[in-house]
């Protein structure tokens, strides 16, 4: 019979670090604003995983409450940010992050 391996807190923290690293790499390398938004969301989810892992480790609910507020702010960021990016992408084809400097006014 094969014994089941229980994931420890360290595994979750390593997974969060890998996800955050992938998100950081994506933000630095990619120039498409939509892909950059997805990478930022990946980074926020990595931080959320860290908060939940550490809240579970110390038997405290405060980390999970912080995750709730991070998710609310991320949802608001997606609504506003995607609205702006989609509006600009409709006017210009081949939009890059450098083109967003036109918003300076």
Range of the domain at 15: 9-93
Looking at the domain assignment, is residue 84 inside a domain?
A: yes
Looking at the domain assignment, is residue 104 inside a domain?
A: no
- Dihedral sign computed on CA atoms, order 62, 65, 69, 74: positive
Task: Count up the domains in the chain and report the number.
Answer: 1
Between residues 83 and 102, the one the model is more confident about: 83
Tell me the pLDDT tens digit for each residue of 29-71.
988 888 888 899 999 999 999 999 999 999 999 988 999 999 9
Looking at the domain assignment, is residue 20 inside a domain?
A: yes
Global pTM reads 0.79
Distance between CA atoms of 1 and 28, rounded to whole angstroms?
47
pLDDT score, position 58: 93
- Domain harbouring 30, CATH code: 1.10.287.3510
């Amino acid at each position: 019979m094969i014994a089941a391996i229980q994931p420890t807190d360290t595994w979750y923290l390593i997974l969060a670090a890998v996800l955050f690293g992938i998100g950081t790499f994506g933000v630095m390398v990619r120039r498409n604003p939509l892909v950059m938004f997805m990478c930022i969301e990946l980074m926020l989810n990595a931080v959320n995983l860290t908060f939940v892992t550490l809240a579970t480790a110390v038997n405290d609910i405060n980390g999970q409450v912080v995750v709730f507020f991070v998710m609310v702010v991320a949802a608001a960021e997606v609504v506003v940010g995607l609205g702006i990016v989609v509006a600009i992408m409709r006017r210009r084809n081949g939009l890059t992050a450098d083109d967003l400097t036109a918003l300076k006014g």
